[in-house]
Every structure is written in structure tokens, then in C-alpha cells.
Structure 1
């Protein structure tokens, strides 16, 4: 067996403590970064309209559900926001079935998220036909669209930096409440 001198023991304890602190800092930094991004998203979405509801799930009519991360009441109607977390370069078109993410030299294909937002928009529109319904796919990760960014896809930097004063028609307010009530009722079935 070997034994350590008191001085060596002290240095070993210090080395272990430094490693533990560095590991903890790394883990906390990743968590803090994700939490900060979530906060930035919520703040940016809240600037889109006077009323925001987080999380909306409605049946798609085919034994499934479609979900929006945020639903916003605006002066133009209901805006559905689906958040996608992608890093790297994103390539895709409005009508293509598959999009591509290029990250660190690797290509990953994924289903066109605009198809999902169109299905979600149509589903919500069927629940509240008396109000315009639109949707966007918010790419919240550290990504860019090196070529054209399709309409309906946006980055966090594309959202307004300040809340604009909006006057929402009273009929939209009533329809908003109806939508939230219907969505809540449908989610229990």
C-alpha cells in the first residue's frame, strides 16, 4: 500500500474539489442556457399579442392530437406557434416533404414542420371558424437558413422586439375564450 503525506492529501482534495466544481459549472451552464432560451422565447411570444396561452392540444380527427407550444390572440386573429429546436444550417422549402439540418458536417433529414402547422391551423380553424387562424414554426435553436427561409418559418430574431399596441375586436375575445374551453374539453376525451 502507499500512503500520502498530509501535503499530498491536501493537494488531492483540492484537485478533486476543482474537478467537481468544473463539472458542476458545466452542467449548470447548460441548464442555465436552456432556461434562458426558454425565457427569451416566452418573452418574445408574449410581444406578439395581448393574450398568450402556453400549450394547446386538440384532436386531429384521425385518432391523434396536434399541439401548439403557444397560442396568441392578436388583432388579426389567433396565431399558433410551434417551437422547433434545431442547431446548424436548415434547408427546406414550403412544399418539400423533407428538410435537412446540416450540423458539424452531418446531414439529418426531418419532416417539413410547415405541414404540421398547416394541419394544426386547419384543426383549430374547424373549432373556431369565425376568426382568422394562422401559424408559424419558430426555430429556437442556434440555426440559420442559408438559402431562402420559407414563409411560416421564423427565427427568434424575426419576432418583434417590442410589443405593439393592438386593439382586439370583442368578437375575437369571445372566440378566444371559446377556443380555450373547447381545447380543454376535447383534451379530456
Structure 2
């Protein structure tokens, strides 16, 4: 392999590794949402996935909504590892991965906002929020109420999926479908409004550009 080709391979490999590190958090979250969507397919009367709804603070993104005869369920997916300590809905979760300690926004508090957005669009309809844990995280001080594993979620939805959906609940579901947005303009507006959202967008763009350039250099290097 010529010197220039070797340099292209080295630089391309470095860029690809750096790009994957930048894109990993986003990819991990998307894989988690896909796993939940696949696992609950066919459960409930209808489902909506990865939608954005308006609320009193602007826009909020919801991973999954499930329609059942007993009401509407709001699901937030988290793909976490390590040991997690919880101290109530309004307190941050504390995650330990080895000796590394991370304070994380409590997903139950996050999903509470989602539930309120749904309740506003579906007045008088029972709405419940659950947090789905699909990683191998452990809760040494006990898993909080409302935090479910994927198996527990499927069991709960099967129990609740009995009978017919009332006209009131169906009307509320139609209102949610009408209000929900999935277009890129709305997604960018939502991300831009989040704390750190601008950095996240830049990080994602940088990762994609670096991955494209790195892969192109690898191909050129090996071809040379």
C-alpha cells in the first residue's frame, strides 16, 4: 500500500471512530425505542411512536403512546446500564458505572410533562405514564413504581387490552393523532428549545459529516 493510501486509511479510521463516539448516545436511544416498538407491536388498540406534541412550555417529544380500552398510556424509553439510585419523582437519578457517577434528569419527571401534554389534548380520559427500562441497569434501593421492564410492560398491556374502546377515548385518540407532529421542521424546533439541544444538533451533524469523510477516506485508501 502506498504511503498516501496508508495515511488515508489511518485518518479515515480515526475519523470514523471519533464519529461513532459522537453518534453513540443518539443511536443507543433510537435502538431502545425501536426495541420497545417492536416488542409491543400488536398490543393495545393503536399506537403512536416518536411524536411531538405542543404543551404549555412549547413542544415535547413522546417515545410511545398506546391506546387501550382503559385509557391512554404514555411510555418513555430509557436504555441505561450500571447502578441507579432514585430519590422520588422530582429528584435526579444518580447513576454509577464503575466509579463514575452521573446525575441524570429523572425520566419519571420528564414523562410527567408528557402525560400533562396528553391530558390537555384528551380531557376526561384516563392517562397513565410509565418509564421503560430496557438496559441492564440495577436499582439497589428498589425500582420505583411506574418504572417497568419490557416484560412487565407487555404483561400489563395484555391485561388492560380487554373490551371495547369508548367513544370518548377514541375521540381523544383522534385529537392526539391530529395534534402530533413528526416532520423535520418541528423536530428541529423541539431540539433547539431543549437545554443543550443546540449542542446536540451540532454534535449529531459533526458526527455524520466525520463518518462520511472517514468512510470515504477508508474506501479510497484501501482502493489505492
Question: TM-score, normalized by length of structure 1?
Answer: 0.70
Does residue 119 (structure 1) correspond to residue 113 (structure 2)? The answer is: yes
| CA–CA separation in structure 2 for the residues paired with 1:119 and 1:36 | 23
Per-residue CA distance 1:61-119 (angstroms, 9 max, x = gap): 22x32111110001211101111121111111323421111112321111111111111
1:86 equivalent to 2:80? Answer yes
Asked if residue 152 in structure 1 is aligned to residue 146 in structure 2, the reply is yes
Matches within 5 A, 1:154-173: 154-161=148-155, 163-164=158-159, 165-167=161-163, 168-173=165-170
Q: More deviation in 107-116 or 88-97?
A: 88-97
Which residue among 29, 40, 43 is the counterpart of 1:45?
40
- Whether the aligned pair in 1 keeps the contact of 2:32 and 2:77 (CA below 8 Å) is no
Residues 133 and 87 from structure 1, CA distance in 2 versus in 1: closer, same or farther, beyond 3 angstroms? same
Going from structure 1 to structure 2, the CA distance change for 1:93 and 1:158 (only over 3 Å counts) comes to farther
CA distance in 1, matches of 2:31, 2:53: 28
Partner of 2:49: 54
* Greater Rg over alpha carbons, structure: 1
Relative contact order (C-alpha < 8 Å, sep 6+): which is higher?
Answer: 2
Alpha-carbon RMSD? 3.1
Equivalences, count: 158
4+ residue segments displaced more than 6 Å: none
CA distance in 1, matches of 2:32, 2:179: 30
- 1:142 and 1:47 map into 2 onto residues whose CA distance is 25
- Which 5+ residue runs of structure 2 have no aligned equivalent? 1-19, 190-224
Which structure's residues are more often strand, by fraction? 1
In the alignment, what sits opposite 2:217? none
Paired residue for 1:133, among 127, 134, 138?
A: 127
